[in-house]
């Protein structure tokens, strides 16, 4: 085995006791410069870097680690990793005791919600000194979100494909029924000697059947229109104008339910333009208003509040209805998941899909028994143009 090469600095440190004062001073300055160089290198890394002992005491943390874990540079006492990230000790103790490398993914809630990949690597232990470990922290929040969205998109796409196929297969027999009902109706008119009362009854039955077939065909057409992804036809839109059209259309239904609607900050010129598809926006607003109305008892109130900053335009739909249970919040955007007896579970999935196609975001806050707030965030027109360049 080849002998390990030693640097001049290491050779000097081996005979440090024999060095005179000027040489020691020069050595200390050199060590300080090299430490400063390594500090600068470590602090430009995007990954967090920690050095801890087997008790979890943090001996070193670079700038990225401070940001990821919410460490304070001026802490008087060296913090322990177990105090900074409660619950981590149990996950890492086996690896620390066996001195084996280990990788874990963990969700941090402080200083902000993040998903982090942690990689622990042991140092070579020196006789009489506690073992130390290097911990590398990588922020994978964006990757995790992108992966989850891709999986969700693929799952939704497969369901949509299946549903579209089923709807198409249902459409064929409905078309056949329509044709045969028309044939029966024509032949009935040509029959002679049939009692007028019986003829009128048969004609009414045929009409009812034809109306029901047409209704089913309409349901299938609307269903396919809702689930088929389509690129938005973008144009300059003021959200307030589209919202007013939707509320005007739903006015009778809201009045019948005893629901009052209050709108704030949505004047004709109050909000900046956004680039959006008018019909798709109507579908979003219609679904949200309908959901809010169905969640409230007579006398309920829906408050729609608008606002904007330099980058975004927001609309918040707040109802005082039954709210959403925590176990249902996690499945809110899943296709075919619904808590309504007559619901199809596609409304919120469609809303989320349209918002993503517009470069927007949707947020939902709810508390069972108190109500729900759905917030839509749209990029302003100038920001959308910059994103497309």
Number of domains comprising the chain: 3
Supply the pTM of this predicted model: 0.48
Q: What is the average per-residue pLDDT within 204-212?
A: 84
Would you state the pLDDT for residue 377? 92
Give residue 106's domain range.
45-139
What is the percent of the chain where pLDDT is above 70? 80
Q: Are residues 334 and 375 in the same domain?
A: yes
Answer yes or no: is 13 within a domain.
no
**Structural contact between residues 265 and 271, judged by C-beta atoms closer than 8 angstroms:** yes
Whether pLDDT at 250 is above 60: yes
Whether pLDDT at 333 is above 90: no
Answer yes or no: is 77 within a domain.
yes
Answer yes or no: is 34 within a domain.
no
Q: Are residues 154 and 286 in the same domain?
A: no
Q: What is the average per-residue pLDDT within 345-352?
A: 77
Q: Are residues 208 and 318 in the same domain?
A: no
| Residue 116 burial class via C-beta count within 10 angstroms: exposed 0-12, middle 13-18, buried 19 and up | buried
Residue 176 belongs to domain with CATH number? 1.10.287
Would you state the pLDDT for residue 384? 46
229: pLDDT confidence band, cut at 50, 70 and 90? low
For the stretch 271-315, pLDDT in tens is 888 889 998 899 899 989 998 998 899 989 999 999 888 888 999
Task: Please state, in angstroms and rounded to a whole number, the distance separating the CA atoms of residues 303 and 323.
Answer: 15
Whether pLDDT at 347 is above 80: no
Would you state the pLDDT for residue 74? 63
337: pLDDT confidence band, cut at 50, 70 and 90? low
Lowest-confidence range among 28-42, 94-108, 360-374?
28-42
Task: Please state, in angstroms and rounded to a whole number, the distance separating the CA atoms of residues 171 and 344.
Answer: 19
Q: Are residues 177 and 304 in the same domain?
A: no
Q: What is the mean pLDDT of the chain?
A: 80
For the stretch 54-93, pLDDT in tens is 888 888 899 889 888 888 766 545 678 888 888 788 888 8
| Distance from chain centroid for Cα 47 | 24
Q: Are residues 66 and 129 in the same domain?
A: yes
**Sheet bearing 301-308, strands edge to edge:** 260-264, 301-308, 312-319, 371-379, 361-367
């Amino acid at each position: 085995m080849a002998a390990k090469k030693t640097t001049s600095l290491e050779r000097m440190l081996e005979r440090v006791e024999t060095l005179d004062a000027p040489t020691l001073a020069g050595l200390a300055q050199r060590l300080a410069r090299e430490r400063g160089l390594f500090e600068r290198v470590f602090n430009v890394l995007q990954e967090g870097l920690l050095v801890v002992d087997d008790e979890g005491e943090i001996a070193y943390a670079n700038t990225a680690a401070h940001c990821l874990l919410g460490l304070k540079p001026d802490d008087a006492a060296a913090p322990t990793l177990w105090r900074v990230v409660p619950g981590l000790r149990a996950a890492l103790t086996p690896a620390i005791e066996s001195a084996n490398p280990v990788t874990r993914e963990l969700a941090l809630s402080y200083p902000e919600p993040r998903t982090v990949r942690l990689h622990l690597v042991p140092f070579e232990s020196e006789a009489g000194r506690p073992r130390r470990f290097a911990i590398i922290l990588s922020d994978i929040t964006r990757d995790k979100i992108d992966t989850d969205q891709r999986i969700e998109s693929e799952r939704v796409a497969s369901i949509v494909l299946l549903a579209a196929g089923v709807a198409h297969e249902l459409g064929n027999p409905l078309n056949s029924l329509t044709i045969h009902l028309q044939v029966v109706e024509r032949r009935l008119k040509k029959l002679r000697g049939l009692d007028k009362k019986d003829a009128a009854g048969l004609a009414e039955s045929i009409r009812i059947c034809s109306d029901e077939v047409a209704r089913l065909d309409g349901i299938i057409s609307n269903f396919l229109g809702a689930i088929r992804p389509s690129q938005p036809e973008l144009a300059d839109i003021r959200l307030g104008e589209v919202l007013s059209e939707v509320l005007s259309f739903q006015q009778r239904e809201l009045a019948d339910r005893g629901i009052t609607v209050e709108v704030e900050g949505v004047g004709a010129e109050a909000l900046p333009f956004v680039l959006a598809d008018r019909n798709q926006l109507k579908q979003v607003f219609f679904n949200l208003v309908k959901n809010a109305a169905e969640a409230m008892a007579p006398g309920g109130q829906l408050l729609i509040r608008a606002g904007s900053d330099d980058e975004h335009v927001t609309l918040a739909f707040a109802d005082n209805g039954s709210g959403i249970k925590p176990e249902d919040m996690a499945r809110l955007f899943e296709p075919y998941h619904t808590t309504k007896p007559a619901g199809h579970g596609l409304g919120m999935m469609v809303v989320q899909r349209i918002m993503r196609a517009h470069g927007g975001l949707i947020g939902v806050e709810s508390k069972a028994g108190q109500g729900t707030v759905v917030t839509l965030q749209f990029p302003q027109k100038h920001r959308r143009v910059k994103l497309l360049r």
